[in-house]
Amino acid sequence: MAKFSAKICSVCPVKRNCSDSKTGRVIQIHDQESMLQSLKYYVESPEGRQEVRERVKVEHALASICNRKGPRARYIGYVLMNMI
């Protein structure tokens, strides 16, 4: 977390694009911000877009199954599920 007092903010050259607060500014950065940024850039890349398209197909198919048959499996247990 970074805190900037009103005294520092008053002389900042980009104050217009920032906060209008009279007490200053507090910035909190997520613990995994670097990972989130890298994932964002990956999704915007051509190979990332292709992966998102494939994922959307699968998620739509699974949602369709859940809507028709409900979220529960027909059988209980690994053996019975693999017999089908």
The ranges assigned to domains in the chain are 1-30, 33-83
**Structure letter (DSSP) for residue 5:** E
Q: Which tokens belong to 66?
A: 């859940």
> For residue 16, what pLDDT is reported?
83
Distance from C-alpha of 24 to C-alpha of 54, rounded to nearest angstrom = 45
Instruction: Classify burial at 25, counting beta carbons within 10 Å of its beta carbon; exposed 0-12, middle 13-18, buried 19 or more.
Output: middle
- Contact (CB, 8 A) for 30 and 38: no
Q: In this predicted model, what pLDDT tens digit does every residue of 26-40 receive, in sequence order?
A: 888 889 999 999 999
pTM score over 0.75: no
Helix boundaries (H) for 1-84: 6-10, 33-44, 46-69, 78-83
Q: In this predicted model, what pLDDT tens digit does every residue of 12-71 receive, in sequence order?
A: 888 888 878 888 888 888 899 999 999 999 999 999 999 999 989 888 888 887 788 766
- Contact (CB, 8 A) for 23 and 17: no
